[in-house]
Chain A
Amino acid sequence: MAIYFREVSHHFQAFDEGPYQAIRDISFSLQEKGEFVGLIGQTGSGKSTLAQHMNALLFPSIGEVEIFGKKVTKKRNKKINYNAIRRDVGLVFQFPEYQLFEETVEKDIMFGPRNFGMDVEEAKKKAAEVIKLVGLDESYLSRNPLNLSGGEKKRVSIAGILAIDPKILVFDEPTSGLDPFGKHQLMALFEDIREKTGKSIVMITHDMDLVYAHCTRALVLKNGKLVFDGRTDELFKHSDLSDFYLDKPQTMQILEYIETKYGLTLDSMKKTPEEAAKAIEAAMKS
């Protein structure tokens, strides 16, 4: 196990109303290899706060986060190199505007690796490598990141973290602002990373289809509390998802509708259109 959350709470100081509890009493653990976690919940439920605890950008107000053996608590410990934690766990923020600043895409991608002590030549090579991974070609390397479109910026910001080569990747809404094609390209990239390196990926998203199709595990937050931690298909078997302010994936919704409308008995736990079609055929035959 690589990351442990032990009864972690975090509160922000609000101006007038006293402390605001963003997440409360959260405990779970995350493996270094092979996990693809969907971190879901309604807006304001504490997903981003939780994600920022995973690489010690935020320190828990109560409790303890253990990241690759380093224990992060409320107090800053001088013996711990917090920067090293950020090399182990890479976090991509939701808005690329918060991080792009260099004159060229190449330099911007190199910023992370250079901070972690990689030499210039190697960082350049890495930049050329990751820019292709995120679905842009090498001509982008010499362009100004500030003049790119929203989706391209997003990809460059993801490339900036991939270049660091962290052991675990955390993405805060990676698909927001991407077109459907870009979304699938990105998910293919995640699957590819998982296949080749086995690295665990945590993804914050509101897209239930993506969670159902790709994630192996789901963490559901509601009002700062962890209300579900388990396999994705188990989550969607849960009869009343509106409890969590969530919705079922499209495929499941359609299959369930067909089931009730035509009085069929079919297995609605299907991920792709092909599987769904097969399930319908099977149900029609019987």
Chain B
Amino acid sequence: MGQHFAPTGTPKLARGVRLRHDEARGQWVLLAPERVLNPDPVAVEILRRVDGERSIAGIVDELAQAFTVERERVEADVDDFLKGLVDKGMVEVSG
């Protein structure tokens, strides 16, 4: 399957990383040390669910349902996306 994380894993933003809506520019931003990232709409939907409570499987279920997309496809996308942020030290996955 080539997944990096177990579906039971729980991702959360690392300390010093914050997601917020930027009212002045009408967009979501991910704030990190000396970095301002502009996540695309798909990334925002994932990030809004990265709260240290929901498991990866839970996030995938929600997204598959909300956007009526194939579950396997969402699973792979979420896994890839989280891997990228874990490599940058911006997300931690426990469990």
Is the A/B pair a real complex?
no
